[in-house]
Structure 1
Amino acid sequence: MDEDALPDRAPSSAAGGPSVGGAANIELRHLRAYVALCEESNYTRAAVRLHLSQPALTRTIQQLERHIECRLIERTSRRFELTEEGAELLAHARRILADVDTVTAQLRSRAAVEVGFAWLLPTTWLAATRRRYEALGGRITLRRIDDPLAALDARSIDIAIYRGETQLPGHLESRLIATEQRILAVAANSPLTTATDLRWADLAGYPLVVNVVSGTTHAESWDQRDPNRPIITCRNFEEWIELVAANRGIGGAPAVARTRAPHPGVVYLDIPDAPPTHVYLAWHTTPSRAVQRFLAVA
């Protein structure tokens, strides 16, 4: 017998044969192996195409025959030929696999990517990214969270948007998506509201309110640091703006805060030489296909 032929053994209900309801055990791998074998008309070539050993392919086809309780391939050393049942199964198998592949691709294209952010999304970037991603059939869901990087690390979100320079662990990657002008936030009753010609260095000694989780401005944001400078810490934007309004200290924020986060107790001031702030995306180094598609349009 040709080494490419199956052993001439008819399916049996004896030991190793199918049980009642055996057809329910047919898996996509059986159908994919069978279609590949039929298209190649050769076990060796089909095994190479499927990245299987030839014995493994032989066992897979034998399993399929046992499950459906009929012979699919005529055993001959001279030619590859399907039985009548084999030809019928081939037609159905191709249709089933095509349907599965189509619906899988459609569902993957519509997969939602969950984007976590702490505060003040870069709206122009988000609108453009959402438009491009949804044009591909995908969906973006937004989740406000105090620490997006921690949520990303825990895999409770797919993408983190964050500001500030942060050393990421090796299993996360990042990409700069925006550079923003930095402005000064002070209490409405602060003498700084009427100051003129303020420079960034002039602010190095004032008490500073720092959002230690997702803020953009820290003591290290000044080249010349006052070791005795009072630092008032908090853990989210809402706490930060209320502390500034209470005149506990000054703060730094991206310019978008002026229109997106107005507060009756806070005045935003332009400081011409203030260093800019940066916005980044972060994701796992082994992203899902949906995340890959998102990154391609982001």
Structure 2
Amino acid sequence: MDVELRHLRAFAAVARHRSFSRAAEELLITQPALSRTVAQLEGRLSVRLFDRSSRHVELTDTGAEFLVHVERVLSTLDQAIAVVSHRVTLRLGFSWLLPDPWAQQSVSRFEEDTGASVDLTRTDDPLQALRQRAVDIALVRGDVDAPRGARIMRLYDEPRIAVCSERCDLARLGHLDWTDVRYWPLVVNTVSGTTGPWSWPVDERPTQIIETANYDEWLETVAANRGIGIVPEVAQRRTQHPALRFVPLTSAPPSPVSLVHFPDARRTLIRRFLDAAVPE
């Protein structure tokens, strides 16, 4: 008989709720679709599983006997899936400082909902790691130059802040305006930085750019007073460096935070993570 798992889950849900409408809500399908699924099951088994009336739904004797076996089968299947799920890992690539509390909340929701785990992979270039399939999802800040065929889900925007050495004149100012950044040497992380000369129109760009290749190089270059940096505010909460000072930045455009993935890779697992990643 051509009986599918969806038939069994639909039957069990209706039997449990004694209601097609409540069972449809649980299964996240429409009531007509659920009714058709149950009718298909009855047709393929050539039996009547429910007595239906306008007021209530009851199991027939055959349906009650069938339910005992269906619940046993579904329970065994769920246990088997749980065992496998605990061995499944989703690889999330990031370059520096995962956003908080988004990261902790999203990973926790995903792991609780799926039983799978998240492997947090620190890499200087998350998009390159995604291209090489070394990660399943890349978390990227700033404007995204995504690989061909990849999809981008924008999560939210982070405010920016200026950072400089304790020996820098900027440390004694109360704030820095976005339009005045051009007058300071700007230290840029060319691989995964969120702010660079590309962040301004050509005629408004900083005239002196100091390039670095990763976050650690960028951090130490700023600390050495080679120039100032512009980063999302999360860096102020998470960076402990005695030689650095953070300065409020006014009129700055926000820095977007996005997730990038390939649609042909681990579709179900990635979709579940994307659902968990939407900020509350």
Matches of 1:125 and 1:135, distance apart in 2: 15
Deviation at 1:251, TM superposition (A): 0.8
Mapped contact 2:97–2:238 kept (Cα < 8 A): yes
Runs (5+) with no aligned partner, structure 2: 4-69
Aligned position for 1:291: 270
Deviation at 1:255, TM superposition (A): 0.5
Amino acid at match of 1:105: I
Aligned equivalent of 1:153, options 115, 127, 131: 131
Structure 1 residue 200 and structure 2 residue 178: aligned? yes
Deviations 1:62-103 (A, max 9, x none): xxxxxxxxxxxxxxxxxxxxxxxxxxxxxxxx9xx9899656
Aligned position for 1:132: 109
Matches within 5 A, 1:9-48: 36=2
% identical equivalent positions = 36
Matches of 1:278 and 1:264, distance apart in 2: 28
Q: Is the alpha carbon distance of 1:227 and 1:278 closer, same or farther for their aligned partners in structure 2, counting shifts above 3 Å?
A: closer
Aligned position for 2:91: 114
Amino acid at match of 1:119: W
Mapped contact 2:175–2:247 kept (Cα < 8 A): no
Matches of 1:225 and 1:113, distance apart in 2: 43
Query: Over aligned residues, Cα RMSD in angstroms?
Result: 2.5
Matches of 2:141 and 2:175, distance apart in 1: 27
Aligned position for 1:265: 243
Deviation at 1:187, TM superposition (A): 1.1
Mapped contact 2:95–2:125 kept (Cα < 8 A): yes
Aligned equivalent of 2:196, options 214, 218, 240: 218
Aligned position for 2:224: 246
Amino acid at match of 2:216: E
TM-score scaled by length of structure 2: 0.67
Q: Is the alpha carbon distance of 1:224 and 1:156 closer, same or farther for their aligned partners in structure 2, counting shifts above 3 Å?
A: closer
Mapped contact 2:162–2:176 kept (Cα < 8 A): no
State the number of aligned residues: 206
Q: Is the alpha carbon distance of 1:286 and 1:100 closer, same or farther for their aligned partners in structure 2, counting shifts above 3 Å?
A: farther
Matches of 2:190 and 2:220, distance apart in 1: 15
Mapped contact 1:109–1:290 kept (Cα < 8 A): no
Runs (5+) with no aligned partner, structure 1: 1-34, 38-93
Matches of 2:79 and 2:135, distance apart in 1: 25
Between structure 1 and structure 2, the one with the greater Rg is: 1
Q: Is the alpha carbon distance of 1:197 and 1:36 closer, same or farther for their aligned partners in structure 2, counting shifts above 3 Å?
A: closer
Q: SS state of the match for residue 162, structure 1? A: strand
